[in-house]
Amino acid sequence: MGSDGIVSTLAEQMLEAKTRATLARAKGKDARLIEAIDRSVRRTLGCIVQIRDPREVAMRGFSLVVNSAGEIQVRHRESSLPISSSYLRSLLAEAGVEPRPGQVILLDEVLVGALVEEALGAVSREQAQMQSAKSRLIQASLEVDSKALSGATPVERLPRDAA
């Protein structure tokens, strides 16, 4: 995508996000994340207008990067963050912003905060499920060990239904 194409894409995305934020506020909805997406697109457009490469600027902060297959990554400096791409896509859709392959968007801190908070919540839920599974496995192992030590024969260890 050439420089003119990038500018025109960002301008379209910015106008759509601004419109969606205005409509959301008019309906009494929380528009903070839509506004954060709008600021992100504006920040990126401002970078390009200043004749700076957003990819170079992104190496010092947070960015959304779309690969050639259309997959989205959120990056902090040069590392990918394990955020939910479905959550990010839903926020972008709500803002009317459809990222294009090869696009880089410099992210607003409010948007990054929401993405990180959602990802931390998902990781915490996953850890709790893993801890619960681990506890059940340990309990089963202890029960098997205690029956093995008590000298029960294999037939005696089977549940009544199985015998």
Is residue 79, in this structure, part of any structural domain at all? Answer: yes
Residue 150 maps to a domain: no
pLDDT at 36: 97
Amino acid symbol at 17: A
Residue 19 sits at φ, ψ, to 5 deg, of -65, -45
Query: Which structural domain, as residue segments, surrounds residue 66?
Result: 3-110
pLDDT given for residue 5 in this prediction: 85
Name residues of the chain where pLDDT drops below 50: none
pLDDT at position 32: 97
- Domain count within the chain: 1
> Is residue 44 domain-resident?
yes
The angle subtended at Cα 84 by Cα 81 and Cα 86, nearest 5°, is 140
User: pTM of this prediction?
Assistant: 0.75
**Which pLDDT score, from 0 to 100, does residue 112 have?**
94
Residue 61, CB-side half-sphere exposure with 13 Å CA sphere: 19
